Structure 1
Amino acid sequence: MGNMEGTPVWFELTTPDPDGSLDFYRHVAGWAIALSAMAEHGGYRIATAPDGERIAGLMAPPPGASASVGWGVYFGVADVDAAAARVKELGGAVHFGPMDIPHVGRFAAVADPQGIGFNLLTGADPEGSRAFAAAPGAFGHGVWVELATPDPDGAFAFYGAMFGWEKAGAMPMGEMGDYAFIGKGADFRPGAVMSSSLSGAPARWNWYVNVPDIDAAIEAARAHQGALMQGPDPIPGGDYSANISDAHGFRIGLVGPRK
């Protein structure tokens, strides 16, 4: 797998109505969404960006799972079995796996010590994933990830031990605490960590998709039974960010310019 440890490599929506979600995300994120060509994937739907790269999956909850799950983030690791064991050593939990996904790789569903879920993936493609691309014009790709947690310092300790992340500066948000940036090396800045207790944000991993016109994406969400939860707010570099919910109440972030 060609990605740096801790890179977001896949995004996945678990929803009670995958077919009903297709139209929403096609219009909002600009994805083409189709059933996986692999029969072993059991009706898994794959979302593709305008540049042809695979970005995300949509699926119904597996038997026995909660009907209300929403978006999840997969982080790339070189050895998913070793990484899952490390999660437990650091006070987290392994909920499922590790197990193989035919033609995709090996994954595990885990949680950090604060109980916030995420996924680990060792991909089968030696070139790695290009689902996350923090670059101008990478429309439809993931461009930012964001952890809201009741213990930001504990989160940096955990994910630092897991992926080598460090706190790379912070933006003060007054009574909501700091918006602390994730860093690794000179150039890797995939996202940020903030306090769920102070900000009121749901304790979870969120992710942001790059769109060419954030106002148009918000209007598309509203037109397809979604809602605007926050924004658009200016961010460094000239773009804007927003958070929306789809028709089932599942949240996702947007990043893009205002035209």
Structure 2
Amino acid sequence: MGEAQRGRFVWFDLMTTDVSAAQDFYTAVVGWTITPFEAFQDPYDMWTAGETPIGGAMKLPDEAVAGGAPPHWLGYVQVSDVDATVARAAELGGGMLMAPSDIPTVGRFAVIRDPFGAVVAPFAPSGPPTEVARAEPGQVSWHELMSDDFETAFAFYRDLFGWEKGEAVDMGDAGIYQLVRMGGAEVDAIGMMNRPAEVPASYWLYYVNTDDLDAAVERVAPNGGRVIMPPMVVPGGDRIAVCMDPQGGAFALHEYTAP
């Protein structure tokens, strides 16, 4: 795998307490369809945007629930060597939550945490890498890290994934919002900032592209979810909203303003 393919978010799993109910919610709100993946012994359904699979849904393990883990989204980042990435993460102050494991016909992955507890999954695909392109409706178009210390977190991810800093946007009382570019991308697709006091822990938030933000937001509450932050315009002119699904998983919606 060349450097152009390193460090890109390529898959998104929802870890939830009720897979069926979550599927009903996201298909209604986002417009995804559900496609079974037949290669696994255990049932695994993929989220499909148009004809493109973008992730899946799995039941959050009972031991994770008992340990206090809420429903959440897990992003997979493409690397060339999962085992080396896990070892390097530990050297940089992170930790391993799931040891490297092979997915037959798919690739190899692990789950790690950064030095402040935010979780990602390094992933090395068995097949050719996917192309970098602007997100279509239903695909994830932005990736955001709320961190105890985004500068230290950025150094961690830069070492592991080769990410590069873009513009540092001054958000006033909210502090600096650091734009970040992932491998092979032509535009920034990641934002990092220090978490506000009301956010209890460091975490990754993923934004799903929609061509009609207001309509998508209007579907959240009737389907059992909650709008945490109503539609707003962000620097650059795009519009976003932050929501929570009925099981408590946080996600965001994103509408491009420029063609």
- Normalised to the residue count of structure 2, the TM-score between the two structures is 0.90
Tell me the residue number matched to 1:120: 122
Is structure 2 residue 237 aligned with structure 1 residue 235?
A: no
Q: How does 1:58-207 map to 2 (within 5 A)?
A: 58-62=57-61, 64-66=63-65, 68-126=70-128, 128-129=129-130, 133-135=133-135, 138-183=136-181, 187-197=186-196, 200=199, 202-207=201-206
1:119, 1:200 → 2: CA distance? 22
Give how far 1:150 is off.
0.7
2:54, 2:32 → 1: CA distance? 9
Give how far 1:95 is off.
1.2
1:111, 1:186 → 2: CA distance? 24
- SS class of match (2:220): helix
Q: Which runs of 4+ in 1 moved over 4 A?
A: none
- The 3 A distance-change label for structure 1 pair 188 and 98 is farther
- The 3 A distance-change label for structure 1 pair 188 and 162 is farther
Task: Return 5+ residue gaps in structure 2 as ranges.
Answer: none
Task: Return 5+ residue gaps in structure 1 as ranges.
Answer: none
**Contact kept? 1:133, 1:141, Cα under 8 Å:** no
- SS class of match (2:108): strand
CA deviation profile, 1:68-94 (whole Å, cap 9, x unmatched): 331111111011111111111111101
**Contact kept? 1:10, 1:73, Cα under 8 Å:** yes
Is structure 2 residue 9 aligned with structure 1 residue 8?
A: yes
2:196, 2:71 → 1: CA distance? 21
1:80, 1:192 → 2: CA distance? 24
Query: Given residue 26 of structure 1, which amino acid in structure 2 is its aligned partner?
Result: T
CA deviation profile, 1:153-205 (whole Å, cap 9, x unmatched): 10111111112223211211111111110135782412110111457475201
- The 3 A distance-change label for structure 1 pair 17 and 133 is farther
Tell me the residue number matched to 1:19: 20
**Contact kept? 1:70, 1:251, Cα under 8 Å:** yes
1:219, 1:108 → 2: CA distance? 36
**Contact kept? 2:46, 2:56, Cα under 8 Å:** yes
2:233, 2:240 → 1: CA distance? 7
**Contact kept? 1:144, 1:207, Cα under 8 Å:** yes
Give how far 1:219 is off.
1.1
Query: Given residue 174 of structure 1, which amino acid in structure 2 is its aligned partner?
Result: G
**Contact kept? 1:77, 1:121, Cα under 8 Å:** yes
